[in-house]
Homo-oligomer: A and B are copies of this chain.
Amino acid sequence: MSNENESNSLGRMCGWESGPDPSLHSHFLSQCLQLLIEKAVFGGTDRSTKVVDWVDPEDLKEKLDLALEDKGVTQADLLRRLNDVVKYSVKTGHPYFINQLFSSIDVYGLAGQWVTDALNPSVYTYEVAPVFTLMEIEVLKVMAKFVGYDQHDGLFSPGGSMSNMYGMLLARYYRFPQVKKRGVSGLGRLVAFSSIDAHYSIAKAAMTMGLGADNVVLVNVDDEGRMDVNHLKKCIAKSRQEGGIPFMVSATEGTTVLGAYDPIMAIADVCQAEGLWLHCDAAWGGGALISNKHKHKLTGIHRADSITWNPHKMLASPQQCSVFLTKHTGLLKDCNSASASYLFQKDKFYDTVYDTGDKHLQCGRRADVLKFWTMWKAKGTEGLEKHIDQLFDMAHLFTETIRKREGFRLLMEPQCTNVCFWYEPPSLRSERSNPKYNMLLNAVAPKIKERMVKSGSMMVTYQPLRSNPNFFRLVLQNSAVNKDDIKYFVDQIEELGKDL
């Protein structure tokens, strides 16, 4: 086919029929993929391009042709719309996107994701998802080995919030198996414990599960943001005195903002003495388990009854890839099964132990495993370890850089690869004794953030925490970030904030 004809062919209407047809769709697909590879994959991660082409919500509505109408469009029109989607989306794979606990485009992970999409599986029975079923078993096995479990069970869930809820569900069911049929009515007031810096999903899960957010007791943290184990003991005792029924503790390994690692050994001792389930939310910090240099941060995690560990965070797998592990084999199925006879027939011709879907809360479920398996296969464990070590090295470099730079101030020594700090503009440096100083400092980060987003130069988030005014949290999980980038981040924040 000549180029001219190919180009003309995009003028055809998309048509309503399902079903790929090379004569109708080949050229469209190749054009679409070219757009993606040029503008999203390579263009969107090129340091010379913007992280975001910022447009206010009301204006963006005008720029994007979002309306869904009676008539369809031509393939060429559709490509233009998809081009706009790419243009105005935040480039979360860009090395200057250090805004969230996910980032990067890993080419091998992306390839795995694209393969998954082309196969469009749902992972509940071996019959429908043979490869993905076996692959999940393999990846869970290897991850459980890094945790140090002798035996394990596990699953992939749509995000860390869901994985944390699986942990709380198992904790409740393990202690009160009657909840499955009869519910919690009449059981009394069940109480969970977590730190004040734990992720909000623990509270959301308590709301969902009918426990109530007030029945998640938030334990104090020490100066480094780690759960205060003495306070935990006091909270448990107080809860019992008040008629509560403590049933679990959720320790956080890599808190969302500060990156603190709760002391697992000491918390496990408390749980053992008190008869409580120990869940470790290592969604963010779990990646360190892959590194011989940094795994000590999670010493004792094999004692946890259950664990959340998100490869889409520190290990930089594409979104979403969240793993839930437990040492209690069979409990997930006992807790969550409904034995639907239309899906989990027992008269199948193969071993239905491979029909793993009934331990999940979801029925249909995306295969989140392949993208991560592809990365691991590509790089080997050694490659993943180098990735993790690079992140910690760059976090260390950033820390040392701002320690020496006037106007920057660390909130605390980082334990993980998120680094929290303030930038103090020159105008504020003489105001430290001003009673309004904190209020003034509080306004700095939002203003710098606005400037960086509007210029598209980088993205880093900020937040207050307890009595601390707004501070920045730089997050490293993209191992493409190098020494020059670290210098760029510091210079850029200074440049954007020095006149404030």
Contact = CB atoms under 8 A, between A and B. Distances in A.
A80 to B, nearest CB: 11
Given A14-B379, A100-B364, 7 more contacts: A18-B387, A68-B373, A89-B131, A93-B119, A110-B118, A110-B120, A200-B363
A473 B341 CA distance: 13
A219 interface: no
A70 B183 contact: no
A366 B158 contact: yes
B93 A319 contact: no
Contacts of A93: 20, 119-120
Interface string A436-465: 000000010010011001000001011111
Nearest to A25: B107
Contact of A162 (B33, B362, B470): B362
A122 B100 contact: yes
A102 B345 CA distance: 19
Contact of A118 (B40, B184, B349, B473): B40
Contacts of A54: 130
Interface stretch (A203-211, A233-241, A263-271): A203-211
B20 A45 contact: yes
26 contacts: A14-B378, A17-B387, A18-B478, A36-B118, A57-B126, A68-B381, A84-B131, A85-B115, A86-B115, A86-B119, A92-B119, A92-B121, A100-B364, A127-B453, A161-B361, A165-B361, A180-B207, A182-B214, A182-B215, A183-B189, A183-B210, A208-B208, A208-B361, A209-B210, A210-B210, A257-B342
Given A68-B138, A349-B446, A130 B90 contact: yes
A199 interface: yes
Contacts of A186: 189
A70 B376 CA distance: 9
A391 to B, nearest CB: 10
A185 interface: yes
A212 interface: yes
A404 interface: no
A384 to B, nearest CB: 7
Interface in A178-224: 178-190, 199-201, 203-215
Nearest to A97: B128
Interface residues of A, number: 181
A340 interface: yes
Contacts of A366: 158, 319-320
Contacts of A22: 42
Contacts of A474: none
A298 to B, nearest CB: 19
A200 to B, nearest CB: 4
A242 interface: no
A49 interface: no
A81 to B, nearest CB: 6
A300 interface: no
Given A114-B33, A338-B203, A345 B69 contact: no
Contacts of A210: 172, 179, 183-185, 209-211
A350 to B, nearest CB: 6
A464 B72 contact: no
A283 B101 CA distance: 32
Contacts of A132: 89
